[in-house]
Structure 1
C-alpha cells in the first residue's frame, strides 16, 4: 500500500504535497485514510503516461484556475497544474515547495512573500514573519522548464524575501531569479558562483538598468556570460574576500567593455581575473579601493588586446601585491601606477611572445614605488622598459631565468638600467647581468654601503 507521508516532498500539518507528472497534489492524511484504495488508484493514474487518464483525473479533482496558498489548507484533495495560477502572498514557504510550484504551476508572487530553508520534519507553510528566516542555499542543478522561466519573468524585482547562505548556479535559467530576491544588505553570503556559456541564462539580468542586492558576499566567482552579472550587483558598501572572473571567449565580456560608466566592486581583498576577463578591470571603479592581492592571467594575445589598444591608462587603486602572468604582463603598461606603492610586484612570462609588445614600445612605463620585485623567465626583459620612482627603496629585487631569458637585458649598455636604491642582501640577479644595472645598496637606515658579494646570487641565478 502506498505511504502518502513517504511519497510527499513536503508536509503542512495533516496535509501532504506530492509532485506528480501533471502537477502538484495536495491531500490530507485524514482524507487519504478515509478512501485509501480509491485515492491510491487515482495516484496510479497520475503516474500513468497516458495523457487521457491524466486529463480525466484533473477534471475529476476539479483543478482550479486559481489557488491562493495559505497557512490553512482546504480539506479536499487539490491538484495544481500548469493551468492553475497559484498566488503566494503574506506567507513564508519552504524553498522546496517554492521551486516545485515554480516548475509545475503558474506562480503569482504578491506582497510579503518569502522562502526559507526546507526542514523535513517541519511544516512547509508559515504566516509571514512567523518563520525562522533560516538561510537557504540556491544551488539547483536540474534544468529549468519553460513554465518556470515564464514565472520568473513575471515576478516583480525584490519580491521574494530570503536569507542566502550560498549560491551555486551552473548553466541554468535560474540565474535570472537573483534580481527577484529581496535580500537584506547585511545578509552574509559565503559563496556566490555563477557559470554559463549561454547568454539567455543571464539576459533577464543584463537587459535591466536596475541594480540588485545579494548581501555581503565573502567569495564571488563569475564565469563566461555570468561575468556580466557583476555590473548589475550592488556592491558599493561590500567587502569581498575573493573575486574571481573568467571568460574564455571575447563575446562573453563584449557588452561590459562597451559601457562607458565604470561599475563599483566595493572593497576587494583578493581579485583574480583570467583570459578575456582581464579586460574587465578597465571598467571597474577602483580609485579608492585597497586590494591586497591582484592576479591577472592571460594565455593568448587576444585576451588583452582590448586593454593594450586603449590610450588612456586605468586606475587599479592601492594594490598591496600584484601578480601578472603570461600575456597579462603587458597590462602593467596601461596601469596608472605613478603615485602607487606596491609591496610585491611579480611578473612571469614563459614565452618570448608574452612580452614582445612591451619590448617594442619606445616610451618606458612607471611602476611607482615597489618594495619587492620578482621578474621571472622572459618577463626579466621588462625591466628595460620600466621606471621606478626616484625616492623608492626596494627590499628585494629578483631576476630569475635561464639562457635566452636574459637576451634583451644583455643588449643594453652597462649601468644603463636604473633600479634606484636596494637594501643590502636584497639583490638577487645572475652575476653577468649585474653590470647592466645601475643601483645603490643601502642599509636599514637608508645609508649607502659598499657592495659585497651576495651568497644568494650563486646557484640557479648564475649562468
Structure 2
C-alpha cells in the first residue's frame, strides 16, 4: 500500500511534496484518498500514471496556504519564491526540478521531518542551516543560480560542505549576516566551472564569522571574493594541486585580506598565495607552508621584492617552502617558533645559494630537521636569544654543508639546545655569546653519529655555562670532550663531585646530588623529548599540521 507521508520529501499542512523523474507533484492527502480510496494494489501504478495526464503549470507562486488540489511542477514551470521561508530540502528539489525565480524577502531554513516546510517570511525560525552536497548538477540548476540576485537567499548558515559540484556557485547568492557564526566552510572544486560564477563576481560577499575554512583546487580562488577583514578564523587551509587552481589569485594586483587567522595552512600551489595577502590587515598566529614539488613555489621564488608575513607568531615551512624564508621581510618581526623541514637537498638549494646571510628577526624557538639544518649557515643569528634551538638530522648528508663551513657559526644566546642524530657534530662549528647560560644541553645520538666529536680532544668544545642537571650526553667519553661550567639557579659556579655506580650493562657516571648527568642513551632521549615537547611544544609530524 502506498504511504503518501512516507514517500514524500516534505509537507505543508495537509499537502505533500513528492519528487518524481519529470518534476515535483504537490498533492493533498484528502484529494489523494478521495480519488483512489477503492484501489489498493494498483495505487502506486495509477499514481505514477497520474503525472502523465496532469497539465504542466507554466508558473507557480509558492505560498504557505496551498490549495487542496494537485499541482505538477516541471522544468518548464517558473516557481516564484518570495515573502516566504522554506526548508533546505524543498529548496534544493525545486532548484533541480523546476525553473526557480527568487524575489524579495526569501530565506531557507533547516528541514525538520513532520513539520511544515513553508512559512511566511515574518515568521521565520532562523534555525541554523547545514548545506552539504557532492553531486554533479544539470544545466537547469546553474541557470537557476545565475538568475538569483546577489544576497537574495537569506539563511543562518552553520556549515557549508560543497564538494565536486557546481552548487558552489550559489555562495554569493546567500544572504548571510555578518554576525552569523559559521562553524565550517569546506569547498572542493576540481573543475573550473564549479566556481566560474563566483570568480566572475566583482563585488565581494559576506560569509559570516567563519571558524574553520578549507578551500581546495579551484575553490582557492574564492578567498579573494570573500569579506573576511573582521573575521577571526580558527583555521584556514588552502590546497591546490595544479598551477591553474591559483591563477585567479596570482593575477590579483591588489593584496586581499583574510582577517585574523589563528592557524593557516597553505599547501601545494596554494603556498604561493601568501604573496598576495595584505600584511597590514592580517594577523596569523600560526603559518604553515607545505610545497612538496619545486614548481609549487616558483611564483614566490621569482619575486625580486621581499614580502612581509604580517604578525606571525608560529611559522613552519615544509619541503620547497623552506626557500620562502629568504623572500620574507622578517627583520623587525618577533617570531615565537620557526620550524624548517626538508627531506631532499634540492629543497634548500635556493637558500644555500645566498651569498649574504639573512635575518629572521627575533626568534624564540627554532627547530630545523633534515637538510634544513644546513640553512643555519645562511642566517645571521649572533644577536638572537633563543628559548630553544633544536636540530635533527637522521642522515649524515643532512649536515654536510654545515660541516664544510670554515668559519664558526655564531648563534648568540641559547637557553635550551637539543642536537639529535648527526647534528651533534654541528656543535663543533658553533660559538655562543660569552655571557650565555644554558638551562639544558641535550645530545640525542648514537656513537657512530658523533664521529667528529670523538676525534676532538678532551675539554676542547666550549659550551659556556650550564645549569645544574642540564647537561645530557649519551656516554661518558663523549662528555669529556666538552668544556663547561656548572652554575646554580643564581648563576653561581658549582664544584663538580662525581661518583661511580654499577648500572646493569656497564659503568655509568652518576653525579652526586644535583650535578649534570652522563646518562645512558634512553635517559638522554627522554630528556630530549621533554625539551622538544614540554618546553617548546612544537609539532613533530607533518600529518599533525594538515
**TM-score normalised by length of structure 2:** 0.78
1:442 aligns with 2:431: no
In 2: Cα distance, 1:319 partner to 1:246 partner: 20
1:420 aligns with 2:412: yes
Q: Is the 8 A contact 2:436 2:465 kept in 1?
A: no
Residue of structure 1 equivalent to 2:268? 275
Q: Is the 8 A contact 2:369 2:392 kept in 1?
A: yes
Residue of structure 1 equivalent to 2:112? 119
Residue of structure 1 equivalent to 2:29? 29
Mapping of 1:204-219 within 5 angstroms?
A: 204-219=197-212
Q: Deviations over 1:372-424 (max 9, x none)?
A: 1111111010011112473x311111221131111101111242x2212222x
In 2: Cα distance, 1:44 partner to 1:149 partner: 33
Q: Is the 8 A contact 1:369 1:389 kept in 2?
A: no
Task: State the SS of the aligned residue for 2:194.
Answer: helix
Change over 3 Å in CA distance of 1:208–1:38 after alignment to 2: farther
The 10-residue stretch of structure 1 (97-106 or 358-367) with the greater mean CA deviation from structure 2? 358-367
Residue of structure 2 equivalent to 1:15? 15
Residue of structure 2 equivalent to 1:44? 45
Q: Is the 8 A contact 1:116 1:133 kept in 2?
A: yes
Change over 3 Å in CA distance of 1:18–1:288 after alignment to 2: closer
In 2: Cα distance, 1:226 partner to 1:109 partner: 25
Task: State the SS of the aligned residue for 1:263.
Answer: coil
In 2: Cα distance, 1:420 partner to 1:183 partner: 52
Change over 3 Å in CA distance of 1:288–1:107 after alignment to 2: closer
In 2: Cα distance, 1:389 partner to 1:86 partner: 72
1:167 aligns with 2:181: no
- Measured after TM superposition, the shift of residue 146 of structure 1 is 1.4
Q: Is the 8 A contact 1:367 1:389 kept in 2?
A: no
Change over 3 Å in CA distance of 1:86–1:409 after alignment to 2: same
Mapping of 1:212-227 within 5 angstroms?
A: 212-227=205-220
Q: Deviations over 1:91-147 (max 9, x none)?
A: 001111111011111101000000100001110110002021111111023322211
In 2: Cα distance, 1:363 partner to 1:275 partner: 29
The 10-residue stretch of structure 1 (399-408 or 197-206) with the greater mean CA deviation from structure 2? 399-408
Q: Is the 8 A contact 2:413 2:437 kept in 1?
A: no
Q: Is the 8 A contact 2:2 2:43 kept in 1?
A: no
Q: Deviations over 1:18-72 (max 9, x none)?
A: 1111111111111112112599979636747xxxx96x42xxx232211100111
RMSD, aligned CA: 2.3
The 10-residue stretch of structure 1 (177-186 or 30-39) with the greater mean CA deviation from structure 2? 30-39
Q: Deviations over 1:426-459 (max 9, x none)?
A: 36474532232232153499xxx93459634545
In 2: Cα distance, 1:267 partner to 1:389 partner: 32
- Measured after TM superposition, the shift of residue 216 of structure 1 is 0.8
Q: Deviations over 1:142-165 (max 9, x none)?
A: 322211111001100000000111
In 2: Cα distance, 1:141 partner to 1:191 partner: 16
- Measured after TM superposition, the shift of residue 2 of structure 1 is 1.5
1:298 aligns with 2:291: yes
Mapping of 1:311-350 within 5 angstroms?
A: 311-350=304-343
The 10-residue stretch of structure 1 (251-260 or 112-121) with the greater mean CA deviation from structure 2? 251-260
- Measured after TM superposition, the shift of residue 360 of structure 1 is 1.5
Q: Deviations over 1:141-197 (max 9, x none)?
A: 332221111100110000000011111111000000010000001111111000111
Residue of structure 1 equivalent to 2:102? 109
In 2: Cα distance, 1:127 partner to 1:86 partner: 16
Matched pairs, number: 448
Q: Is the 8 A contact 2:59 2:77 kept in 1?
A: yes
Residue of structure 2 equivalent to 1:397? 389
1:249 aligns with 2:239: no
Change over 3 Å in CA distance of 1:411–1:125 after alignment to 2: same
Which protein has the larger Cα radius of gyration, Structure 1 or Structure 2?
A: 2
Match of 1:387 among 360, 380, 386: 380
Higher relative contact order (CA 8 A, sep 6+): 1
Match of 2:303 among 304, 310, 329: 310
**TM-score normalised by length of structure 1:** 0.92
Change over 3 Å in CA distance of 1:209–1:45 after alignment to 2: farther
The 10-residue stretch of structure 1 (150-159 or 72-81) with the greater mean CA deviation from structure 2? 72-81
The 10-residue stretch of structure 1 (200-209 or 35-44) with the greater mean CA deviation from structure 2? 35-44
In 1: Cα distance, 2:21 partner to 2:79 partner: 17
Task: State the SS of the aligned residue for 1:387.
Answer: coil
- Measured after TM superposition, the shift of residue 364 of structure 1 is 2.2
Change over 3 Å in CA distance of 1:102–1:230 after alignment to 2: same
In 1: Cα distance, 2:60 partner to 2:102 partner: 12
Q: Is the 8 A contact 2:36 2:43 kept in 1?
A: no
Match of 1:203 among 193, 196, 205: 196
- In structure 2, the gaps of 5 or more residues are 440-462, 475-520, 529-546
Change over 3 Å in CA distance of 1:42–1:114 after alignment to 2: farther
Q: Is the 8 A contact 2:101 2:148 kept in 1?
A: yes
